[in-house]
Structure 1
């Protein structure tokens, strides 16, 4: 019985000794001191050189994009443009047509590079131009003030059917071709102030505003009945010339007539009014300037009876 008890206790003692420890495990550092060189994970050759020209850097497209891209084909003639570029005047460029910045000027530059083009308006102010530059066909307003233009030719405004205003203030213009403005069906405003013009050419009947002040128009500088058919003419400025008469008949729509500083010596009774119709009234003409002329307005009072206001000028 004693022997059996001893045997049983021995079994319990062995079981306790064989049980795993419950305390923290202490590892031997020497067991895990392993060099990475012992692990031949990569077959690396430190003497290997890479040619920079063989390196290709690219962006990898997602799978779905790569599939779409690979299914598309480039056109055979990729160098050709699908459409011809439009010019500033709305036409297309061909071998003989002007560039996208307008036609070439005598200075070797396109008009819209030498000047300033905003919409259908061309500004060429103060560029020392000696001639009117070629204009785009769609030009409606043209300004070329403070230049050195000496003559206006027939070809300067040819085929510009949409041109409405021309302003050539302060140039050296002394000569204008007779039909220089005849081919402009929509021209309404013409400003030729401060030039050397001796003869005013024929103008379209569509005029509403004319300013030829500070020129050298003499007794024959304006043709008879030059403004008769301009039914929409509202402003006529002929200041500082050498005119010796008022260019009658004047359009009924005229609102302002400036003739100061000329050589007008006489005024007729039918210059503004209709002596045959005492009830006639010219209500639109409210601004008449005759100051600076050697004419005495008080000598012909009947000439102003039909006007809403008296002219400005010498009354003594």
Structure 2
């Protein structure tokens, strides 16, 4: 019994010794509770962080953007400043228009010939007319050609020494003086068709060494002036040359003359002698009544043939070509005209 009791007591003591003291267990429980509270707090904090983290994703913060490089810094100017700038710009534009309008009014549209009696005949108003520059402002100049058609000119304008062709058709030129074409050594052609020319100085064209073509159609010329030997074409149709308007042997010394047109001039004879180079002779609508045997041919040389002269017009004249067949036997073609 005693032994049994001792064993029981030892067992109780071992059990008591093995079990932790109460205060320690309480402390552990308290610690455990505190840990639970901390754990709950930690969990809530994490949840809160995750929530705000999901909401506050990277976003542009208003009011912190830098200025756009493409935007004008002065864009933010006030309305009054913008209106002031517009007014200044408008005033500048109006001032420029005023100046341009004044200049436009001050410059002449076209240079005009100075009226007769002004002291400088044949010069042009406006810029200096040296070398015919002012003429090129009035007329049209293309290289060496000067076109002054239908400009109501009453005289020949000053021409450059380099002029080779001159056209002044359909104007009101009444006279050609010797100074109009003086020193124009390169001038090859003059066309004065349909003016009011009634007088030409006798030496107005003779001093032109290169002149080849002269056209004086539809004027009131009574006397054909002397012409240089370089002529290839002479057209004086529709004038008033009459019986004495062509000088004697006027075309004899023109070895290169090809075309001679004298239609509608009331002339009464064929202006012989004619150069062998002549190809075309127009004398229609005149007052030619007869033709001689030596007008075109050589009655002393029956073998003489004038091959170049293929175009002879005598129609509109009171002449009977059948009466003088020997006069054109040397021609390649019979002249055009009445045969009865």
Q: TM-score, normalised by structure 1?
A: 0.69
Cross-structure match for 1:314: 338
SS at match of 1:25: helix
Cross-structure match for 2:294: 270
Name the CA distance, whole Å, in 1 between partners of 2:174 and 2:205: 16
Cross-structure match for 1:189: 213
Cross-structure match for 2:261: 237
After superposition, give the CA deviation of every residue in 1:230-268 in whole Å (9 maximum; x if it has no partner): 222211101111322211221222111011122222211
Equivalent of residue 243 in structure 2, options 219, 223, 228: 219
Cross-structure match for 2:112: none
The answer as to 2:319 corresponding to 1:295 is yes
Cα offset, 1:213, TM superposition: 1.0
Cross-structure match for 2:303: 279
Equivalent of residue 52 in structure 2, options 3, 19, 25: 25
Name the CA distance, whole Å, in 2 between partners of 1:137 and 1:20: 107
The answer as to 2:122 corresponding to 1:98 is no
Residues 131-140 or 300-309, more deviating: 131-140
Bigger Rg, which one: 2
Q: TM-score, normalised by structure 2?
A: 0.65
Contact in 1 for aligned 2:177/2:204 (Cα 8 Å): yes
Equivalent of residue 139 in structure 1, options 154, 163, 178: 163
Shift of the 183–9 alpha-carbon distance from structure 1 to 2, 3 Å rule, reads farther
Shift of the 142–226 alpha-carbon distance from structure 1 to 2, 3 Å rule, reads same
The root-mean-square deviation of aligned C-alpha atoms, in Å, is 3.2
SS at match of 1:178: coil
Cross-structure match for 1:206: 230
The answer as to 2:173 corresponding to 1:130 is no
Q: Any stretches of 5+ residues in structure 1 without a counterpart? A: 28-35, 37-48, 54-95, 104-109
Cross-structure match for 1:58: none
Name the CA distance, whole Å, in 1 between partners of 2:51 and 2:336: 121
Cα offset, 1:16, TM superposition: 5.3
SS at match of 1:190: strand
Name the CA distance, whole Å, in 2 between partners of 1:155 and 1:315: 47
Q: Any stretches of 5+ residues in structure 2 without a counterpart? A: 1-19, 55-62, 64-79, 86-126
Cross-structure match for 1:257: 281
After superposition, give the CA deviation of every residue in 1:184-214 in whole Å (9 maximum; x if it has no partner): 2221111111112121111122211111111
Cα offset, 1:12, TM superposition: 6.3
Equivalent of residue 168 in structure 1, options 169, 189, 192: 192
After superposition, give the CA deviation of every residue in 1:24-68 in whole Å (9 maximum; x if it has no partner): 2199xxxxxxxx9xxxxxxxxxxxx99x89xxxxxxxxxxxxxxx
- Across the two proteins, how many residue pairs are aligned to each other? 250
The answer as to 2:336 corresponding to 1:305 is no
Q: Per residue, is there more helix in 1 or in 2?
A: 2
Cross-structure match for 2:116: none
Name the CA distance, whole Å, in 1 between partners of 2:143 and 2:214: 20
Cα offset, 1:181, TM superposition: 0.9
Cα offset, 1:113, TM superposition: 3.2
Contact in 1 for aligned 2:254/2:275 (Cα 8 Å): yes
Shift of the 136–16 alpha-carbon distance from structure 1 to 2, 3 Å rule, reads farther
